[in-house]
């Protein structure tokens, strides 16, 4: 009786195994983990379609995770563990994966690139992408943000790292944060024609040069007449000069407080290693 039961159970399991496998296989093609339930079924389907098509072209899995709390883990750790636990699912892409994770509770966002995506989606490129999509996330346009992430990630996956050229459609994106964020991007390698630093403008260079030239000649002219070379120490008799009496009485104290500037535009830390030993690039922030 017991034996038969076991066999029966085994048969059922064997029967369901291919189904389970096929379900698993499907999630590889459409890796949208909407734990926080931010997307409609329709939107999930659209994103799946978009990502599976692009995944095949670039041999990279584009994974989107929305979480409502991460069990007290840091979002970076959360993503690392996620990658380790789901590593088998990315095997068809040789482990290449670009991950977008958001945590609704902490309002954290983290972008990570693994394997091939680590090479192409560098920390600074991920910063650029994150800055592009953060306004959409802040205003609750999750679908637009996720779709934008996949598009941009694919774009960079096809471009060698010489310059960050935003995809055509993103240039029309009039997000106020784009402009300011570009200036914060310290790496001059990442400058684009659109986001030119003031230092590279010819007129700015001209002004600096003329000002410096004028200052040098001006100093020479002023210095040519001779300088005063006595100081406050020259005639001071230090033996007899002293503070005879003093007091410092505490009177009162005022405290003002100010909210910490939001770290939206700041890249912090970047990549790291998972406990499974996979290195990755990364960019985190708040939305």
Question: Given candidates 226, 266, 267, 287, which one binds other proteins under the rule CB under 8 A?
Answer: 226
Question: Given candidates 85, 199, 268, 276, which one binds other proteins under the rule CB under 8 A?
Answer: 199
Say how far apart CA 76 and CA 269 lie, in whole Å: 10
DSSP β-ladder status, 108-114 and 279-286: antiparallel
Say how far apart CA 166 and CA 60 lie, in whole Å: 20
Nearer to other proteins (CB atom), residue 15 or residue 235: 235
Q: Is 252 in the site for other proteins (CB under 8 A)?
A: yes
The set of residues, in sequence order, having a beta carbon less than 8 Å from that of 27 and lying 6+ positions away, is 89
**Window 36-65: residues binding other proteins (CB under 8 A):** none
Q: Is 255 in the site for other proteins (CB under 8 A)?
A: yes
Q: 């970047």: which residue's tokens?
A: 270
CB of 234 to other proteins, least distance (A): 5
Evaluate whether 54 touches 146 at the Cβ level (below 8 Å): no
The set of residues, in sequence order, having a beta carbon less than 8 Å from that of 98 and lying 6+ positions away, is 60, 61, 62, 63, 111, 112, 113, 114, 117, 121, 153, 157
Question: Given candidates 88, 189, 268, 269, which one binds other proteins under the rule CB under 8 A?
Answer: 189
SS3 220: helix
Among the listed ranges 65-73, 85-93, 147-155, 201-209, the one in contact with other proteins (CB under 8 A) is: 201-209
Question: Given candidates 242, 278, 280, 283, which one binds other proteins under the rule CB under 8 A?
Answer: 242
Q: Is 105 in the site for other proteins (CB under 8 A)?
A: no
**Window 109-148: residues binding other proteins (CB under 8 A):** none
């Amino acid at each position: 009786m017991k034996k038969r039961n076991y066999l029966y159970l085994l048969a059922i399991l064997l029967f369901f195994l291919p189904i389970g496998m096929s379900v698993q296989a499907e999630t590889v093609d459409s890796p949208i983990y909407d734990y926080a339930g931010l997307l409609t079924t329709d939107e999930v389907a659209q994103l799946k379609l978009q990502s599976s098509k692009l995944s095949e072209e670039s041999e990279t899995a584009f994974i989107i995770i929305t979480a409502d709390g991460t069990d007290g883990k840091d979002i970076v750790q959360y993503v690392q563990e996620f990658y380790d636990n789901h590593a088998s699912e990315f095997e068809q892409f040789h482990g290449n994966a670009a991950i977008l994770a958001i945590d609704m509770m902490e309002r954290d966002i983290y972008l990570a690139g693994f394997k091939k995506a680590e090479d192409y989606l560098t920390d600074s490129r991920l910063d650029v992408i994150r800055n592009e999509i953060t306004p959409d996330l802040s205003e609750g346009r999750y679908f637009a943000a996720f779709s934008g992430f996949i598009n941009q990630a694919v774009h960079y996956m096809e471009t060698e790292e010489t310059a960050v050229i935003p995809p055509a459609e993103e240039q029309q994106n009039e997000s106020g944060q784009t402009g300011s964020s570009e200036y914060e991007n310290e790496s001059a390698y990442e400058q684009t024609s659109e986001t030119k630093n003031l230092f590279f403008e010819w007129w700015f260079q001209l002004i600096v040069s003329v000002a410096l030239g004028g200052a040098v000649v001006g100093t020479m002219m002023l210095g040519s007449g001779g300088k005063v070379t006595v100081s406050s120490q020259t005639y001071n008799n230090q033996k007899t000069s002293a503070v005879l009496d003093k007091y410092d009485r505490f009177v009162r104290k005022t405290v003002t407080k100010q909210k910490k500037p939001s770290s939206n535009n700041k890249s912090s830390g970047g990549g790291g290693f998972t406990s499974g030993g996979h290195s990755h690039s990364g960019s985190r922030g708040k939305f």
